[in-house]
Structure 1
Amino acid sequence: MSAPVQTCLPPFLLIPCSWHPAPPAINAQVSICLPTLNARAFLEERLETILSQTLTDWELIVCDSHSTDGTWEYLSQWAHDPRVHLHQVPKEGLYAGWNECLKRATGKYVYIATADDTCAPELLERLAEPMDGNENIAVAYCGYREIDGRGQELTVRRSTFQKFIEPWMSARHDVDGRALFLITCAFDHNWGSVTGFAFQRALLDKTGLFRTDMGMNADCEWALRTLLVSPLVAFIPGRLATWRLHEAQASRNWGMDDARLCRDSMRDLLNDPRAGLPEAWKTVPAWSEQLMLKREWSYEELSELFRFVARANPRKFLTQCLRVGKQDPGMFFRQLFRLFAFPPMPTSSWEEHANHLLATFPCDWPPVPISSERPS
């Protein structure tokens, strides 16, 4: 487990004039992308963890969407640091802000530093190392800790996805990107958090930027595209980053509309000839239905068109009937024919479904450990 983030600020944050920035980085190895919008409450911790990185060959690209809480004024103290590039960009949404940073990145590798999260000092060094040694490794990923708004670690119940993947996170593994794609399909869960991974900037030529028309699902959609074109993903042992859970974050809640976008984005991806889906997969009987299974079921699960909802809250049930009937008549009539019963599980467990996909669709699984690095 990585050391907890210190809450005290180093002298150069308390007294900016006493800090002398390092010489400018030429052809920085890592572009750190820091999109901000009214993130002042967390910036001191975030900047501290960036400035304390053991890998010092980086550039910091800040794109602020015209914050009104003092964020821009706080960031302006680094305006004369040649490693830091400050930009104000239009306020067009979360992922539009991410894209503005990515458009300006010049480093070999990219790390998206979400403004309210933190990371261990050795994060960038540990993530860059495997990509430096193997050009087939397009992404490097580590685990993370959940923290609250005050930086205190939370005890969060592990998901079935996390339990499934944990045996390969305890030591360094290079994992077939297509295998991770299949596992993500099986659990309808993003394979990682952006706060814990870095990637080759060249990947953007194949994946494009983040979509801005998909709500909170854009990072998961982009991650799936990334996995299909990544020969290998390096798993780095240790939880070297944090994911902060707090009421103000944009990705706090998940509902039926998000599940519908998630389902529809998967359909789009499977039908996109540019996505890099292996041709051998398309020879598997009912291949698309198998890959869509979990997302279809999750969407129905969140529809709330069930008898127990009608009994507990008739008004809510009728509202959902009207809403779903308008948005997705097919699903409404499926539930009507089921007499609004809860949708049956299409498989005995999602772990079994994951193993089925890994055995059915050609990929390199299970991964073989690379070394016995000591987790932090």
Structure 2
Amino acid sequence: MCISILLPIFNEERYLVECLDSILAQTYPDWELLAVDDQSTDSTPQILQDYQQRDARIRSFRNPQKGVIPALRLALEHSTGALMTRMDADDIMAPAKLELMYKQLVAHGPGHLSTGLVEYFADAQLGQGYARYGEWINKVNREGRQWEEIYRDCPIPAPCWLVYKEDLLRAGAFEPDIKPEDYDLIFRFRRIGLKPLTVPEVLLYWRDHEDRTTRMNEAYDIQKYFRVKLPWFLELDHDPNRELVLWGAGPRGKTFATMLNEAKVKFRWVCDNPKKWGQQIYGVKMEAESKLREFGPMQIIISVASPIDQIAIKALLDELELKAGTDYFWFC
């Protein structure tokens, strides 16, 4: 069964050869690579041409419309495989990546998604944020809590999933013009009910470097992630029969409060800062977090990022016997 690898590329001459070599080294041989050059100005087109001549499984295309989403659409349009995955041109596949995900996915059939563990690396020093994210995403995937943790951050690596083509199309593939496109797609996988499966091995070596798209492109800044999270929460998990509570009055909390007001969703707002208690902020009265003990049925959005504060928050939530992913949701 052929696996179609969708690979959008823009100016990746420094890393593209390593990426392509890792694909050629796969232990699973039945794959095709649809590589789309997103109007690169470096030697990317020549590298693709050279590899295409070396191996008939590689096909490259020039993207007539600039952007990663049109590039992914073009790759999908030319794909012939029954199974779909994507890859980033600055990352490296472990040799058994496709084989292990293929075996796992085919054993369970359509309606499932296969992923695996990742290992971040860097040419220089690995950023602490990426290191923490790598530890978090591996923990979530080992424990099978992808959908429970989906609002904290993207729980499935964009270059490390495998699905049936029919499921990708059912989820809307790359039709929405929404960025971060990888995060939005994972929400759509959840919406159609895909069940995540995890290969408990490192399948992807994820490169951090100074020119990484998520560092350089404003379409991937933290505010854009917020703009993806909240609408999906309101569609997938919000229970209008329960009070909605926003926990946290820092910059993140204020962003979510603004968005809830824009969506005309009523909410109560709690924080641990006595100076703010009783104040009207954005038209909502700020209350003490201890007041949660007096609230009725509720759902809580937690916008507090401090790991130390999150420990205290979790203790109170446990005391109230609230359940993650149903009664409360970590948004950072």
Q: TM-score, normalised by structure 2?
A: 0.70
The residue type paired with residue 49 of structure 1 is S
Higher relative contact order at CA 8 Å, sep ≥6: structure 1 or structure 2? Answer: 1
The residue aligned with 1:319 is none
Give CA deviations for 1:206-239 in whole Å, capped at 9, x if unaligned: 2213366444x22111111112324421111122
The residue type paired with residue 90 of structure 2 is D
Aligned match for 1:285, one of 229, 242, 264: 242
The residue aligned with 1:4 is none
Aligned match for 1:334, one of 261, 281, 291: 281
Rounded Cα–Cα distance in structure 2 between residues aligned with 1:63 and 1:139 = 24
Shift in Å, 1:182: 2.9
Shift in Å, 1:101: 1.4
Q: Note if 1:114 corresponds to 2:88.
A: yes
Rounded Cα–Cα distance in structure 2 between residues aligned with 1:254 and 1:356 = 36
The residue aligned with 2:294 is none
The residue aligned with 1:68 is 41
Task: List runs of 5+ in structure 2 lacking aligned partners.
Answer: 265-279, 287-301
The residue type paired with residue 299 of structure 1 is R
Specify whether residues 295 and 131 from structure 1 end up closer, same or farther in structure 2 by C-alpha distance, changes over 3 A only.
farther
User: Which is worse superposed, 36-45 or 86-95?
Assistant: 86-95
Rounded Cα–Cα distance in structure 2 between residues aligned with 1:66 and 1:136 = 35
SS of aligned partner of 1:221: helix
Shift in Å, 1:145: 1.2
Rounded Cα–Cα distance in structure 1 between residues aligned with 2:64 and 2:146 = 35
Aligned match for 2:98, one of 117, 124, 128: 124
The residue aligned with 1:182 is 148
On the 8 A contact 1:262/1:295 being kept in 2, the answer is no
Aligned match for 2:202, one of 225, 239, 242: 239
The residue type paired with residue 197 of structure 1 is W
The residue aligned with 1:307 is none
The residue aligned with 1:82 is 56
User: Which is worse superposed, 219-228 or 47-56?
Assistant: 219-228
The residue aligned with 1:349 is 310
Shift in Å, 1:271: 5.5
Specify whether residues 126 and 346 from structure 1 end up closer, same or farther in structure 2 by C-alpha distance, changes over 3 A only.
closer
Rounded Cα–Cα distance in structure 2 between residues aligned with 1:270 and 1:167 = 19
Return the structure number with greater helix share.
1
The residue aligned with 1:358 is 325
Specify whether residues 265 and 86 from structure 1 end up closer, same or farther in structure 2 by C-alpha distance, changes over 3 A only.
same
Structure-to-structure mapping, 1:220-259, within 5 angstroms: 220-252=183-215, 258-259=221-222
Structure-to-structure mapping, 1:35-184, within 5 angstroms: 35-80=8-53, 81-136=55-110, 138-148=112-122, 150=123, 154=126, 156=128, 159=132, 162-163=135-136, 166=139, 169=142, 175=144, 180-184=146-150
Structure-to-structure mapping, 1:9-24, within 5 angstroms: none
SS of aligned partner of 1:243: strand
SS of aligned partner of 2:60: strand
Rounded Cα–Cα distance in structure 2 between residues aligned with 1:203 and 1:285 = 32
Q: Note if 1:201 corresponds to 2:165.
A: yes
Rounded Cα–Cα distance in structure 2 between residues aligned with 1:154 and 1:231 = 32
The residue type paired with residue 349 of structure 1 is Q
Specify whether residues 346 and 334 from structure 1 end up closer, same or farther in structure 2 by C-alpha distance, changes over 3 A only.
farther
On the 8 A contact 1:89/1:97 being kept in 2, the answer is yes
The residue type paired with residue 358 of structure 1 is G
On the 8 A contact 2:97/2:204 being kept in 1, the answer is yes
Specify whether residues 125 and 346 from structure 1 end up closer, same or farther in structure 2 by C-alpha distance, changes over 3 A only.
closer
Specify whether residues 232 and 263 from structure 1 end up closer, same or farther in structure 2 by C-alpha distance, changes over 3 A only.
same
The residue type paired with residue 47 of structure 1 is L
On the 8 A contact 1:181/1:228 being kept in 2, the answer is no
Shift in Å, 1:268: 3.6
SS of aligned partner of 1:60: strand
On the 8 A contact 1:136/1:232 being kept in 2, the answer is no
SS of aligned partner of 1:252: helix
Aligned match for 2:227, one of 264, 272, 281: 264
Shift in Å, 1:334: 3.0
CA RMSD of aligned residues (A): 4.3
Rounded Cα–Cα distance in structure 2 between residues aligned with 1:98 and 1:295 = 37
Return the structure number with greater strand share.
2
Specify whether residues 121 and 200 from structure 1 end up closer, same or farther in structure 2 by C-alpha distance, changes over 3 A only.
same
Shift in Å, 1:60: 0.9
Task: List runs of 5+ in structure 1 lacking aligned partners.
Answer: 1-27, 304-323, 362-376
On the 8 A contact 2:248/2:303 being kept in 1, the answer is no
Rounded Cα–Cα distance in structure 1 between residues aligned with 2:85 and 2:2 = 11
Give CA deviations for 1:14-43 in whole Å, capped at 9, x if unaligned: xxxxxxxxxxxxxx5200112111111111
The residue type paired with residue 269 of structure 1 is W
Shift in Å, 1:302: 7.5
